[in-house]
Structure 1
Amino acid sequence: MVAGVGTENGNAIWGRSVVFDDTWGIPSGAIGCCYGETRATVGVYDQKFPEKVVVEWLDKSENRIYYGEVAIDKAGYKLAKNLPPFTAHTGKVFKDVKPYLIIGMGETGEIKVWISNTPSAGFTGRVLHELGSGQAQWRENN
């Protein structure tokens, strides 16, 4: 599995933590695009498919720290194992599909979790299944 994060276009944020099942996480750092997509990814090995994610990020434009937890639909494991092939704009068909677990952080504190067969839009045959969503809380950044 491959995991990564994204945010709405034009919403530059700083990811502080992304932790799955209170045991393992992925780095995030500066995030500037795109919702339902991930540009920077991390390969994940020897971990069970997660049941929840806890995230925290800094939105400097609002001087807020957002934080929240989202339960991940258990059906995501089956979806991840059965993702279809996809085709790049060059015509190349990718049959050995890796599941992309994508965490989205919206500009007003929305948290989304998706599973996809590609890291981003622009591929023919891309699927994007929502596995969970929630609303983050926030506090002032001191």
Structure 2
Amino acid sequence: MDKFIKPLISIAYALFLAGCSSTGKIDYMVAGVGTENGNAIWGRSVVFDDTWGIPSGAIGCCYGETRATVGVYDQKFPEKVAVEWLDKSENRIYYGEVAIDKAGYKLAKTLPAYTWVSTGEIETNITPYLIIGMGETGEIKVWLSNTSSEMNRVGRVLHELGSGQAQWRENK
């Protein structure tokens, strides 16, 4: 009896760890950045899980929407994002890291359809959008959406998956 129980416990424990320790892979998603309207910044670095990132550069709009984007294929849904940006108006470099809620992976797989306002067509081929927002006083937000913006669309969802406060240093 003991010969069967120990292996069963080991298998159950391994499955438990596998289910809790990481998120699954996404076939395709888009990751992008945005900032508050009127808060032009220079994105220096946006890196997910220390492995892949978004080439950003100049960002002038819009919080909760994607501007500079990158399409990502067959990648594990990220668990953290590290960002750095320059706010020229304050001459500050902001930097920080935010944990991303692991529930985001399941949400990404079940995002709802939305409707195009101009045609009334229902879009059912949904691409997950992972959006990183950088606020004018150093706020960092991470959202998941079923589309890049609200423009010409009805039924957009925006789930907040993480937030934090960046630190800053003077730009010398």
The TM tier, using the shorter chain, reads over 0.9
Partner residue in 2 for 1:106: 135
Q: In the alignment, which of 74, 79, 83 is matched to residue 51 of structure 1?
A: 79
Asked whether the equivalents of residues 131 and 144 of structure 2 are also in contact (C-alpha less than 8 Å), the reply is: yes
Asked whether the equivalents of residues 6 and 34 of structure 1 are also in contact (C-alpha less than 8 Å), the reply is: yes
Q: Distance in 1 between matches of 2:150 and 2:39?
A: 18
Partner residue in 2 for 1:126: 156
Partner residue in 1 for 2:25: none
Query: What are the ranges of 5 or more consecutive residues in structure 1 without an aligned counterpart?
Result: none
SS of the counterpart of 2:62?
coil
The runs of at least 4 consecutive aligned structure 1 residues that moved more than 4 Å come to: none
Partner residue in 2 for 1:141: 171
Partner residue in 1 for 2:59: 31
Name the stretch that deviates more: 22-31 or 87-96: 87-96
Q: In the alignment, which of 70, 75, 81 is matched to residue 109 of structure 2?
A: 81
Asked whether the equivalents of residues 39 and 120 of structure 1 are also in contact (C-alpha less than 8 Å), the reply is: no
More helix by share: 2
Asked whether the equivalents of residues 19 and 26 of structure 1 are also in contact (C-alpha less than 8 Å), the reply is: yes
Q: CA deviation at 1:31?
A: 0.3
**Percent of aligned pairs with the same residue?**
85
Question: Which protein is bigger by CA-based radius of gyration?
Answer: 2
Partner residue in 2 for 1:92: 121
Partner residue in 2 for 1:40: 68
Q: CA deviation at 1:39?
A: 2.5
Q: CA deviation at 1:93?
A: 1.5
**Alignment length (residue pairs):** 142
